[in-house]
Amino acid sequence: MSDVSTSTDDPEMGAEVAQEPPSGSGQVVWVTLLRIVGALGVPIVGFFLLWATFDYLKNEDANRGLVVVVAIIVGAGGVFLLFWAMDRVVDLLPERYGEGVRPYVFVGPALVILAVFLVYPVINTLLISFKDANSDSFVGLENYKFVFTDSDMLTAIRNTAGWIIVVPIFGVGIGLAFATLADRLRRGEAVAKSMIFLPMAISFAGASVVWNFIYSFRPEGFGSNIGLLNGIMIGLGQNPVSWLDQQPWNNLMLMVIMVWMQTGFAMVVLSASIKAIPEEIIEAARIDGASELQVFRRIIIPTILPTIAVVTTYMVINAMKVFDIVFVMGNAELRGTVVIAERMITWFFIRDHDGRAAAIAVVLFAAIVPVMVWNIRRFREQELTR
Amino acid sequence: VSVSERFETPVMEPIEPAAPGGTLEPRGGGWFVRITILVIVLIWLVPTVGVLISSFRPEALVDTTGWWTALAHPFSAASWTIENYRLSLDTGGFGNAFLNSLAVAIPSTVIPITIAAFAAYAFSWMEFRGRYVLFVLVVGLLVVPLQMALIPILRLYTQGAVLFGLQIFPDLDLGGTFLGVWLAHTGFGLPLAIYLLRNYIGSLPSSIIESAKIDGADHFTIFWRLIVPLSVPALAAFAIFQFLWVWNDLLVAYVFLGGTRELRVLTIALQDLVGARGENWHLLTAAAFISMSLPLAVFFSLQKYFVRGLTAGSVKG
């Protein structure tokens, strides 16, 4: 009894409790029993406490300001307390089980959430992709046949291929150039970098407003043109152009938006990586007569190659999943700017064909697998050299 | 207690960058560098500046002349107004949406970080069966398109899960609740969080953890007193990342919280303004800047952590 109460009092006592020597056999049974009761009781009480809080938060009539405060407290403290309580519980378990169980207490919540929110949906989508519009009966490979024959789908596949080539090349390219050059500024580097990073803080909804002021087009008689590009065209004495209707260049114009939004990420990460290169190495090369271009190609690039790989992967995956920009700028089918993820949303939410939407999602997931395999291999190499 | 005090000082030094980097002697470049930087910065700023200027112009002018024409006579009082901000704050119900966004974004940032930090510690410094396979699985989940997960989860929230006539997941009635959105954001944010934090936590020197163990510290103490303080840069970096993402998210909030006036978040309120008012440019511009204000403040105040923490793991070699 005594060691149960002390161990729950003080977080620093854990190690000592675990090292307690075993005593007489009758006592051991009691202690073990108490430990098991405690092991079951603490999480159950904790669970119901959390449940009551969540029930309150679900209450739609509750005061909004109060909900925000409770939400922040539960979010900030609740999860940590849950981990702490579970760790205490493991301390109550017999030692030979305790140390085997503890790692699962640490990773467990993550694995449970991932299983529910990512693994389960993947399996679910796979099943739905073989069923009809309302998931009533199996239709075999019908939906996959649609994915690879429908003309809009074929356009979407072609366009997405364009996105995953163009966006990473320009995003990483400009980001790398900017990071390298900004590194040489004697002052204003932080400000310059902030300006490039700024679009990251803008939502897609906000970005659509921003870019409408660039691409906006109004034909004769429908008001004056207030988009910047057409302002320039008129200034040059040309006729205004309906930029987003120019196939296939309109795809490129949407890609520009993503490059604008994501270059900041690449630049910030690459810049920090460049700064981590020891100054002596670069100085030594200069003293040996290397030109700035040689320093860049022979020293900077090889040293930060792993980071370039990480950034490129991240941008390729993001370009594959692009949906918001195309969706928000509108009229994708008419303009031929459809992409895979956008097709999926359209078929699910607008056309209500679950089977086709799921099949599109599965194809998208399958397309990402090579990137994933390459990354896992890279991770394994990194693990070996650690 | 003594464990952390003893190890904090020697360890913090190599992790803090030694030199700010701005004091290096000038190397080549000069004008070429400065002009190139200036050109890129200007190109990047033009779209945002256009909206910023438009947001302070009267409705009639926004709709009839390009925003750049305002620059021609910047001191004429007739070409500037704050009416757009007043109107969109009044009519759009933005105050409530701002509160809702906070209630969504703060827990959706803190919960995944806490869970991911524990998991990252276990993946880095604890021995257990399946450690490697589970981590690879987590990294693999980075690539699951968010859109693919929305519908099954929404069904889970509103109907539970039934497999072969057996209720394997209870109907939690989480549709349209904050908890539902937090959990969804946690699920979608976890793979990247675990990946980044494991990179960082795994690259901390093993000697400090070993000596803490010898001093009798258990895993929880090591994690809380040693690992968390040392990982502040990485934790802050991911916090900004996740906060920006959640704050700017439209899809997850729309699917799980809905677009009702009572519960909608800022991005949805902004979208409603677009939908309901069509070509009302003057309100949109002000609304866009209201929704940008907090992320920009967060970014500018915390960006130094962002730069340092994010790369700490990846630039190790």
pLDDT band at residue A259 under the 50/70/90 scheme: very high
- pLDDT exceeds cutoff 50 at B10: no
In chain B, residues with a C-beta closer than 8 Å to the C-beta of A310 are 314
Smallest Cβ–Cβ distance between B149 and the set A58, A117, A231 belongs to: A117
Place of tokens 């290169």: A277
More confident call, A20 vs A226: A226
Nearest to A268 among B50, B126, B306 (CB): B306
ipTM of the complex: 0.73
The gap from C-alpha A143 to its chain's centroid, in whole angstroms, comes to 28
Q: Would you give the distance in Å from CA A92 to the centre of its chain?
A: 38
The mean pLDDT value for B303-315 works out to 47
Span A20-28, mean pLDDT?
56
Q: Is the pLDDT higher at B291 or at A320?
A: A320
Has residue A249 got a pLDDT over 60?
Answer: yes
Q: Which residue matches tokens 């803190």?
A: B110
The answer to whether residue A211 neighbours chain B at the CB level (below 8 Å) is: yes
Rounded average pLDDT over B12-22: 39
pLDDT recorded at residue A176:
92
B158, pLDDT greater than 90: no
Tell me what the mean pLDDT of segment A358-375 comes to. 81
Amino acid at B139: V
Is B126 in Cβ contact with A122 (below 8 Å)? no
First-to-final CA distance of chain A? 45
Q: What is the mean pLDDT of residues A345-354?
A: 82
Of all residues in chain A, the one with the smallest CA distance to B215 is: A15
Buried b / exposed e along B155-189 (16+ C-beta atoms within 10 A): ebbeeebeeeeeeeeeebebbbbbbbbbbbbbbbb
- Answer for the pair B284, B62: CB distance below 8 angstroms, yes or no: no
The sign of the dihedral angle between the CA atoms of A113, A119, A122, A123 is: negative
- For B214, the token pair is 């010898």
Distance to chain B for A295, nearest Cα, Å: 12
The whole-angstrom separation of Cα B191 and Cα B120 is 10
* Whether pLDDT at B307 is above 60: no
Would you call B188 and A118 a contact, using CB atoms and an 8 Å cutoff? yes
Lowest mean pLDDT among A156-160, A358-362, B42-46, B84-88: B84-88
Can you give the pLDDT at residue B36? 87
Q: What percent of chain B has pLDDT over 90?
A: 1
Q: What is the pLDDT of residues B185-230, one digit of tens each?
A: 888 888 888 877 787 777 677 778 888 888 877 888 888 888 887 7
- For the cut 70, the answer to whether the pLDDT of residue B49 exceeds it is yes
Q: Are A50 and A78 in contact (CB under 8 A)?
A: yes
- Tell me the CB-side half-sphere exposure of residue B28, using CA atoms within 13 A: 11
Q: Are A200 and B48 in contact, with CB atoms under 8 Å apart?
A: no
Q: Which residues of B touch A276 (CB under 8 A)?
A: 311, 315
Taking the C-alpha atoms of residue B248 and residue B266, their distance in angstroms, rounded to an integer, is 8
CB-nearest to A68 from B54, B99, B142 is B99
Q: Is the pLDDT of residue B165 over 60?
A: no
Which residue in chain A has the smallest CA separation from B133?
A376
Residues of A in contact with B126 (CB under 8 A): 102-103, 106
A280 vs A163, which has greater pLDDT? Answer: A163
What's the whole-model pTM score?
Answer: 0.74
> Is A294's pLDDT higher than 50?
yes
Tell me the chain A residues in contact with residue B218 when contact means C-beta distances shorter than 8 Å.
Answer: 14-15, 18
Where does the pLDDT of residue B128 fall: very low under 50, low under 70, confident under 90, or very high at 90 and above? confident
CB < 8 Å from B in window 132-171 of A:
none
Cα B284 to Cα B276: distance, rounded to the nearest angstrom: 11
Greatest mean pLDDT among A206-215, B107-116, B265-274 lies in B107-116
For A332-337, which contacts have Cβ atoms below 8 Å and span 24 or more sequence positions? A333/A152, A335/A244, A335/A245, A335/A247, A335/A250, A336/A155, A336/A159, A336/A247, A336/A248, A336/A250, A336/A251, A337/A159, A337/A244, A337/A250, A337/A251, A337/A254
Residue A102's closest CA among A18, A31, A198, A159? A18
The average pLDDT across B278-283 equals 64
pLDDT at B24 over 50: no
Residues in A closer than 8 angstroms to B141, CB to CB, are 114, 118-119
In chain A, which residues have their Cβ closer than 8 Å to the Cβ of B186?
113, 117
How, if at all, do strands B166-169 and B161-163 pair?
antiparallel
**Residue A171 distance to chain B (closest CA, Å):** 12
Q: How far apart are CA B271 and CA A311, in angstroms?
A: 30
By Cβ distance, the residue of B44, B137, B306 closest to A196 is B44
Average the pLDDT over A266-273 and give the result. Answer: 78
**Cβ pair B122:A341 closer than 8 A:** no
- In chain A, which among 232-271 make CB contacts under 8 A with chain B? 260, 263, 268-269, 271
CA-to-CA dists, residue A302 to A96, A294, B167, angstroms:
48, 12, 55
**Residues within 8 A of B (CB atoms), A 313-372 only:** 317, 320-321, 323-324, 341, 344-345, 348, 354, 357, 361, 364-365, 368-369, 371-372
Check CB contact under 8 Å for A110 and B194: yes
On the question of pLDDT at B280 being above 70, the answer is: no
- Looking at CA atoms only, how far is residue B3 from chain A in angstroms? 11
Compute the distance between CA of residue B101 and CA of residue A68 in angstroms, rounded to an integer.
9
Q: Copy the structure tokens of residue B10.
A: 């020697």
Rg (CA), chain A: 29
Does residue A199 have a cis peptide bond before it, meaning omega lies within 30 degrees of 0?
no
* Average pLDDT of every residue of chain B: 72
Question: Which tens digits make up the pLDDT trace of A27-74?
Answer: 777 777 776 676 667 667 766 766 676 666 656 555 666 777 776 777
Mean pLDDT of chain A: 77
What are the CB-based long-range contacts (under 8 Å, 24+) for A225-229?
A225/B66, A226/B62, A226/B63, A226/B64, A226/B65, A226/B66, A226/B67, A226/B281, A227/B66, A228/B46, A228/B50, A228/B66, A228/B67, A228/B68
Cβ-based neighbours of B132, under 8 Å, separated by 6 or more: none
Q: Which of B182, B228, B311, B316 to mutate to test the interface with A (most CBs of A within 10 A)?
A: B311
Residue A271 amino acid letter: S
Find out whether B161 and B174 touch, Cβ atoms under 8 Å.
no
Q: Do A107 and B122 touch (CB under 8 A)?
A: yes
Across the interface, whether the CB atoms of B67 and A213 are under 8 A apart is answered yes
CA distance B188 to A80: 19
Residue B27 has pLDDT above 80, yes or no: no
- In the three-class reduction of DSSP (H, G, I as helix; E, B as strand; rest coil), residue A138 is classed as strand
| Paired tokens of B148 | 């693919």
Amino acid at B157: Y
**Radius of gyration of chain B from its Cα atoms, rounded to whole angstroms:** 25
Looking at residues B262-276, what average pLDDT do you find? 72
Candidates B148, B194, B250, B282, partner chain A, best to mutate (most A CBs within 10 A): B148
For chains A and B, count residue pairs whose Cβ atoms are closer than 8 Å: 353
Burial of residue A285, with CB atoms counted within 10 A of its CB: 0-12 exposed, 13-18 middle, 19 or more buried: middle
Is A183 in Cβ contact with B21 (below 8 Å)? yes
The more confident residue out of B30 and B243 is: B243
Partner B, chain A 113-132, Cβ-Cβ below 8 Å: 113-114, 116-122, 124-125
Q: What is the DSSP string of chain B?
A: -HHHHHHHHHHHHHHS-S--STTSPP-S-THHHHHHHHHHHHHHHHHHHHHHHHHTS-HHHHHHS-GGGGGGSTT-GGG--SHHHHHHHHHTTHHHHHHHHHHHHHHHHHHHHHHHHHHHHHHHH---TTHHHHHHHHHHGGGS-HHHHHHHHHHHHHH-EEETTEEEE-----TTSHHHHHHHHHHHHHHHHHHHHHHHHHTS-HHHHHHHHHTT--HHHIIIIIIHHHTHHHHHHHHHHHHHHHHH--HHHHHHT-S-TTT--HHHHHHHHHHHHTT-HHHHHHHHHHHHHHHHHHHHHHHHHHHHHHHHTTT--
Tokens 């007569």 sit on residue: A289
Summarize pLDDT for A166-204 with one digit per residue, the tens.
999 999 999 999 988 887 777 777 778 888 888 887 777
Q: Calculate helix-pair angle for B94-125, B232-248, nearest 10 degrees.
A: 140
